Amino acid sequence: MEKSYTVSRYILDRLHQAGVGHLFGVPGDYVLDFLDEVLASPIRWVGTCNELNAGYAADGYARMNGLGGAVVTYGVGGLSIVNAVAGAYAEQVPLIVVSGAPPARRREAGALVHHLVANYQLQLEVFRKITVAAALLTDPETAPAEIDRVVAQCVARKLPGYLELPADIARAPCRRPASDLVPPVAATDPAVLAECVAEAAKRFDGAAHPAALIGVELARQRLGPDALRLVETVEIPFATMLSSKSLLPEFHPQFVGIYQGGWSRESVRRQVEESDCLLSLGVWMTDLDTGLFSVNFDESRVVSAGGGRVRIGPRVYDGVQLGDFVRALASALRPRSYLESHPAPGRTLKPVFAPRPACGLTAPRLYECLDGFLDDDMVLLAEPGDAFCAAPEFMIEEAENFIVQTYYAAIGYCTPAALGVGLARPGKRPVVLTGDGALQMTVQELSTLIRQRCPAIVVVINNDGYLVERELHEDGAYNDIQMWRYSELPRVFDCAGDASIGVRATTEEELAAALDGARRNKDKFHLIEAWLPNRDCSAGLRQLGHAFRQQKK
Ligand SMILES: Cc1ncc(C[n+]2csc(CCOP(=O)(O)OP(=O)(O)O)c2C)c(N)n1
Ligand SMILES: [Mg+2]
């Protein structure tokens, strides 16, 4: 075995082959040997202010790039990134965490070393519960197979993976990969596929108003182009959900809008719920995607596919992968158009925002202005809070231009995730729409965005605290937070003062000017504080608050 080829190199070669070009994280003594090998590799090291943010950055990176990675030290680092990995597990985002660990000889002796919690199994056990595959690399002989197992599962199943690397194994010699890693592909039973496609096509052909509901699993499996081909073959109206927003283009003539159960616009709700053959593709029926479960379908009219099975009325067909079903159905259906009898009322143009002179900012006007501002080279990240409630109304044309955690819904996700987005796609500009409360969670990563010269635009909705919580329940002092001068944050984080701009917008004119400045100044990071201390909010948040309160009655 070559002395110079090590377990660390093996990990890095596999990550690089799988498309990882950047690793996010924080050093610590147990992981320094590994980090030396990172610096010597083609993968770029991106230090973050803390490990939670490294995890969110890796998640944003993975959503754009197919796989992300983070590096942490044991205990203090490993347990700090857990929330981000749990979010990636819930939302089905593939990222790999490499955690340094105490040397194997200390582990064997059960020594009381720094960063240990109770015992040497604890961290591994935590990660086993929130990853698709986890490995403890104590043996350089078996390490290659273990690393391959974790990376392959992570890529194939689109879920996080975990590698625990004891400090004395990082530099241990190991064999090089013999060949490229080929992740396993979940197989579809061809006979079952043929049967369910025939049944779906029969129902479809007999329907007068077929429609499609485009779900988040299509996004995670990168099946947008296949889904588009299917809906275009038969020209049916289609709706997306908040979690799958923009997977299919929103200026498409067949696009009807975002379906959110009873919270949907009436025209969208009717197209979906009154369809006599609804193709529900990769939909996760989560509370925040379904208007708190206010969906009203006649299940007997739904053909639903996802999670490795197809369901048509009462019949379930197991062992059918979503992509195989979508492609086979597109080939089986006769090209035709259902649009004439059911025209889709899509919007065709972005609104042109004309600021009214000396007019104080309101929430609806903020969102109108932003909607008009976004273009195809920008990726919008919308944070839980009013941003999340306003997001369905934005028109976004390209599949990868919208990121949201509709299911796990952690506040503080978007700012660090923008770092991952910016590094994965230098040609795209991240636009973060975040709340004052959310920003306070992970504000340090503004520093890394500036340090990495990422020209992100962070719009902070300063509405004086946790507005969404105020709407969901009787207000309480727990929803108050310290008022910051948000627009001055770039001055704090940018010592040289040449890479960033901070602005507070209190009027429509100031907002329009701030966004215009950000558009023209393409190379700089911008923070725009949208001043809404009177707690104004979107119609979407009012609706959410109302529904929550009704539900409790
Ligand atoms: C990590 C995390 N902690 C707590 C919550 C609960 N939570 C949801 S929204 C919210 C308040 C958000 O406030 P802000 O970011 O200011 O947005 P606003 O509602 O004011 O628009 C909180 C605390 C959460 N979703 N995630
Ligand atoms: Mg707020």
Distance 523 CA to ligand 2 centre (A): 28
Please report, for residues 259, 301, 306, 546, the alpha-carbon distance to residue 311 in angstroms, rounded to integers and kept in the order given.
Answer: 20, 11, 9, 33
Task: Please check whether residues 299 and 418 belong to one and the same domain.
Answer: no
Q: If residue 136 lies in a helix (H) or strand (E), which one and from where to where?
A: strand 133-136
| pLDDT score of 342 | 53
- 263 domain residue, yes or no: yes
Amino acid at 533: P
Q: CATH number for the domain including 261? A: 3.40.50.1220
| pLDDT score of 422 | 98
- 352 domain residue, yes or no: no
Task: Please check whether residues 399 and 532 belong to one and the same domain.
Answer: yes
User: In which residue are the tokens 């403890």 written?
Assistant: 136
Which is it for strands 309-312 and 315-318: parallel, antiparallel or unpaired?
A: antiparallel
Burial track 287-309 (b if 16+ CB lie within 10 A, e otherwise) = ebbbbbeebebeeebbbbbbeeb
User: In which residue are the tokens 């890394």 written?
Assistant: 448
Task: Please check whether residues 525 and 426 belong to one and the same domain.
Answer: yes
Total number of domains constituting the chain? 3
Distance 226 CA to ligand 1 centre (A): 35
Question: For ligand 1, what atom is nearest to the CA of residue 410?
Answer: 26
SS3 527: strand
Task: Please check whether residues 454 and 329 belong to one and the same domain.
Answer: no
- 89 domain residue, yes or no: yes
| pLDDT score of 3 | 73
SS3 520: helix
Task: Please check whether residues 281 and 407 belong to one and the same domain.
Answer: no
Q: Which ligand is nearest to the CA of 468?
A: 1
Q: With contact defined as beta carbons under 8 Å apart, do 258 and 188 qualify?
A: no
Domain boundary among 293, 309, 341: 341
User: In which residue are the tokens 């009154």 written?
Assistant: 274
- 312 domain residue, yes or no: yes
Domain boundary among 166, 198, 217: 166
Ligand 1, atom 20, residue with closest C-alpha: 467
Question: For ligand 1, what atom is nearest to the CA of residue 412?
Answer: 1
Q: With contact defined as beta carbons under 8 Å apart, do 186 and 320 qualify?
A: no
Distance 313 CA to ligand 1 centre (A): 39
| pLDDT score of 349 | 75
- 357 domain residue, yes or no: no
Closest C-alpha among 479, 482, 430, 487 to residue 461 = 487
Residue 164 phi/psi, 5° resolution? -105, 120
- 532 domain residue, yes or no: yes
User: In which residue are the tokens 């009027």 written?
Assistant: 507
Pocket residues: Cβ below 6 A from ligand 1: 384-386, 409-412, 435-438, 461, 463, 466-469
Question: For ligand 1, what atom is nearest to the CA of residue 436?
Answer: 16
Closest C-alpha among 297, 323, 298 to residue 310 = 323
Task: Please check whether residues 517 and 425 belong to one and the same domain.
Answer: yes
Distance 253 CA to ligand 2 centre (A): 36
| pLDDT score of 111 | 92
- 175 domain residue, yes or no: no
| pLDDT score of 344 | 57
**Which of 366, 458, 463, 468 best tests ligand 1's pocket when mutated (most atoms within 8 Å of CB)?**
468
Task: Please check whether residues 314 and 380 belong to one and the same domain.
Answer: no
Amino acid at 128: R
Distance 101 CA to ligand 2 centre (A): 39
- 231 domain residue, yes or no: yes
Distance CA(466)–CA(28), nearest Å, equals 35
Q: With contact defined as beta carbons under 8 Å apart, do 502 and 488 qualify?
A: yes
Please report, for residues 7, 146, 179, the alpha-carbon distance to residue 14 in angstroms, rounded to integers and kept in the order given.
Answer: 11, 12, 10
Q: CATH number for the domain including 119? A: 3.40.50.970
Ligand 1, atom 23, residue with closest C-alpha: 466
Which strand ranges, in their side-by-side order, compose the sheet holding 302-306? 255-258, 238-240, 210-214, 277-281, 302-306, 309-312, 315-318
Distance 393 CA to ligand 1 centre (A): 20
- Give me the half-sphere count of Cα atoms (radius 13 Å) on the Cβ side of residue 483: 6
Task: Please check whether residues 229 and 118 belong to one and the same domain.
Answer: no
Residues 242-284: tens digit of each pLDDT: 999 999 999 999 999 999 999 999 999 999 999 999 999 999 9
Q: Which ligand is nearest to the CA of 387?
A: 1
Residues 6+ apart with CB under 8 A from 195: 317
Task: Please check whether residues 311 and 381 belong to one and the same domain.
Answer: no
Going 381 to 382 to 384 to 385, the CA torsion angle's sign is positive
Parent domain of 462: 363-551
Domain boundary among 341, 376, 397: 341
Task: Please check whether residues 393 and 513 belong to one and the same domain.
Answer: yes
Segment-wise mean pLDDT, segments of 10 residues, the chain, 553 residues: 89 98 98 98 98 98 97 98 98 98 93 94 98 97 97 97 98 94 92 97 94 97 97 95 97 94 93 96 96 92 97 96 98 84 62 92 97 96 96 92 97 98 97 98 98 97 96 91 97 92 97 97 97 92 88 75
Task: Please check whether residues 370 and 337 belong to one and the same domain.
Answer: no
Closest C-alpha among 170, 172, 70, 75 to residue 120 = 75
The beta strands (E) that lie in 215-284 are given as 238-240, 255-258, 277-281
- Rounded to two decimals, what is the model's pTM? 0.97
Residues 6+ apart with CB under 8 A from 296: 261, 262, 273
Q: Which ligand is nearest to the CA of 391?
A: 1
Task: Please check whether residues 377 and 329 belong to one and the same domain.
Answer: no
Distance 437 CA to ligand 2 centre (A): 5
Token pair in block for residue 213: 């509901």
Distance CA(506)–CA(167), nearest Å, equals 53
